C-alpha cells in the first residue's frame, strides 16, 4: 500500500539497491561530514586530518547501512508508506550506532564517539534524504507523463497505419482469419500505446507486442523482412518500461529494411546476465544514409524513460558494427512492481 501525491502518482520508498540512490546517499553523507568538520576545525591541516579520520569510520558504516537497506528494501517498500519510512529510519539509525560501537575500537580511535550523537546525525540525515526522494518522485510524475506523450507522438507513423490497414483490407476476402489476426495485432499495439507509461510491464508481454508488430509489417514486406529471435535465455518474469522493444524494432524496420530492395534480417537477442537484463537489436545499415534521419526521437524517448524508471542503473548504447547497426539496452533485473500491474495482451 502506497500513498498518492497530488499528481495521483503513488509515492513509495526509493529502491536502495539502485546505483543512483546509493550514489546520492553517499554524496550527501560526505557533504554532511565536510560541513561538520568545517564547523569544528580552525585551519586546512586540521580539516584534512579530521576529515580523513571521520571518513575512515564513516565509509564502512555507510556501506553496511546501504547493504542492510538493500537487503530489507523489498519488505520496506511493501509496507504502507508511513510505516516504511519509520522502519527505514529505525534501520538507518540502528546500523550506524551498532557499527560505530563495533568499529571504533578496531580502528584504534583515541576518543570514543558518542553514540547518541551518531543516532541524532543518522536520524536527521535519513529524514532529510527520504524527504528529498519523496520530492524527487513528485517531480518525476509530470516528467513521466510528458515522456508518455512524446512516445505516442514518436510511435504512430501514418505510413505504418495506412499500410497496415491496406494490407488487412487486401486479406479480408482472400484470408479472413489472417485479416482477423492482423486486426487483433493492431488492437494490441494501440492498447499498449494508450497504456500508462509509469507502469512496468512483463518482458514476455513486450516480446508478444513486438511479435504482433512484426506480423503486421510482414503483411506488406513479405520475405524482405526476416527476423531472428534469440530469447532462449530471456527472463520472462522480468519487468521493464513499456514500449521499449517495439520502438527499437520499428526503427530497425524503417531505417534498416525498408530502404533496401532486397530487405534484410532483424536480430533480437534478449537474455539475463547476473542481475541485469540485456536487450540487443540489430538491423542492416541502409545504403541510403538520409533514411536514418529521424530515428533519434524514439531513441531519446526510450533513454529518457529508462532514466526515469531506473536512474543510473540502466544503459542504452548505439553503435555501428560493420554492416549492421546495434542498439544495446541494459536494465536491472527486477520482478518488483513499482506501480499497479498493467493489462496483459489479449488473444482470442
Identify whether the C-beta of residue 182 lies closer than 8 Å to the C-beta of residue 215. Answer: yes
Q: Provide the 10 A C-beta neighbour count for residue 114.
A: 10
* Residue whose grid cell is 541524532: 120
- What is the model's pLDDT at position 159? 56
CA–CA distance, 187 with 191 (Å, rounded to integer): 6
CA–CA distance, 141 with 8 (Å, rounded to integer): 9
- What is the model's pLDDT at position 261? 85
User: If the chain, 348 residues long, is cut into consecutive pieces of 10 residues, what is the mean pLDDT of each piece?
Assistant: 47 82 90 83 78 82 91 87 91 89 65 78 91 80 57 53 71 76 77 68 89 84 90 92 86 86 92 94 77 61 82 89 91 71 43
Burial track 24-38 (b if 16+ CB lie within 10 A, e otherwise): bbeeebbeebeeebe
Question: On the CB side of 174, how many CA atoms lie within 13 Å of its CA?
Answer: 5
CA of 169: how far to CAs of 72, 83, 166, 211, 293, in Å?
A: 55, 57, 5, 21, 31
Alpha helices in the chain (DSSP H): 19-40, 44-78, 81-106, 115-155, 158-171, 176-193, 203-221, 245-252, 295-310
CA–CA distance, 262 with 52 (Å, rounded to integer): 65
Helix (H), strand (E) at residue 198: none
Question: On the CB side of 81, how many CA atoms lie within 13 Å of its CA?
Answer: 14
Terminal Cα-to-Cα distance of the chain (whole angstroms): 34
Residues linked to residue 324 through DSSP beta bridges, in sequence order: 284, 321
Per-residue pLDDT tens digits for 253-298 = 888 888 888 889 999 999 999 889 999 999 998 776 555 454 566 7
**6: CB partners within 8 A, 6+ apart:** 138
- What is the model's pLDDT at position 341? 40
- What is the model's pLDDT at position 55? 81
Identify whether the C-beta of residue 195 lies closer than 8 Å to the C-beta of residue 152. Answer: no
DSSP string, 203-267: HHHHHHHHHHHHHHHHHHHGGGEEEEEE-TT--TT-EE-SSSHHHHHHHHIIIIITT-TT-EEEE
341: helix, strand or coil: coil
- What is the model's pLDDT at position 255? 85
CA 43, 48, 50, 54 dihedral sign is positive
- What is the model's pLDDT at position 140? 67
Question: All domains of the chain, ordered by start, with CATH?
Answer: 3-141 (no CATH), 156-332 (3.30.565.10)
Residues linked to residue 276 through DSSP beta bridges, in sequence order: 273, 332
Amino acid at each position: 500500500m502506497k500513498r498518492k501525491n497530488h499528481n495521483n502518482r503513488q509515492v513509495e520508498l526509493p529502491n536502495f539497491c539502485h546505483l543512483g540512490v546509493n550514489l546520492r546517499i553517499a554524496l550527501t553523507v560526505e557533504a554532511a561530514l565536510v560541513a561538520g568538520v568545517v564547523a569544528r576545525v580552525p585551519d586546512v591541516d586540521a580539516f584534512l586530518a579530521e576529515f580523513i579520520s571521520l571518513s575512515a569510520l564513516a565509509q564502512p558504516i555507510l556501506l553496511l547501512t546501504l547493504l542492510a537497506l538493500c537487503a530489507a528494501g523489498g519488505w520496506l517498500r511493501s509496507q504502507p508508506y508511513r510505516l516504511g519510512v519509520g522502519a527505514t529510519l529505525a534501520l538507518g539509525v540502528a546500523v550506524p550506532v551498532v557499527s560505530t560501537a563495533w568499529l571504533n575500537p578496531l580502528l584504534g580511535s583515541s576518543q570514543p564517539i558518542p553514540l547518541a550523537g551518531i543516532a541524532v546525525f543518522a536520524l536527521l540525515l535519513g529524514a532529510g534524504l527520504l524527504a528529498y526522494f519523496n520530492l524527487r518522485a513528485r517531480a518525476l510524475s509530470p516528467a513521466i507523463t510528458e515522456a508518455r506523450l512524446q512516445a505516442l507522438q514518436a510511435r504512430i507513423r501514418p505510413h505504418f497505419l495506412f499500410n497496415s490497414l491496406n494490407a488487412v483490407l487486401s486479406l479480408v476476402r482472400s484470408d479472413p482469419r489472417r485479416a482477423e489476426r492482423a486486426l487483433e495485432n493492431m488492437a494490441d499495439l494501440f492498447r499498449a500505446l494508450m497504456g500508462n507509461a509509469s507502469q512496468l510491464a512483463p518482458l514476455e508481454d513486450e516480446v508478444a507486442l513486438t511479435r504482433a508488430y512484426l506480423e503486421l509489417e510482414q503483411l506488406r514486406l513479405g520475405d524482405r523482412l526476416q527476423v531472428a529471435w534469440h530469447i532462449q535465455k530471456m527472463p520472462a518474469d522480468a519487468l521493464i518500461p513499456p514500449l521499449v522493444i517495439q520502438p527499437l524494432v520499428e526503427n530497425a524496420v524503417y531505417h534498416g529494411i525498408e530502404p533496401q530492395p532486397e530487405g534484410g534480417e532483424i536480430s533480437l537477442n534478449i537474455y539475463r546476465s547476473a542481475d541485469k537484463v540485456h536487450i540487443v537489436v540489430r538491423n542492416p545499415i541502409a545504403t541510403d544514409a538520409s533514411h536514418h534521419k529521424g530515428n533519434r526521437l524514439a531513441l531519446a524517448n526510450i533513454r529518457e524513460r529508462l532514466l526515469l524508471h531506473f536512474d543510473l542503473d540502466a544503459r542504452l548504447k548505439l553503435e555501428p558494427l560493420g554492416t549492421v547497426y546495434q542498439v544495446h539496452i541494459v536494465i536491472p533485473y527486477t520482478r518488483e512492481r513499482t506501480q499497479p500491474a498493467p493489462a496483459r495482451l489479449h488473444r482470442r
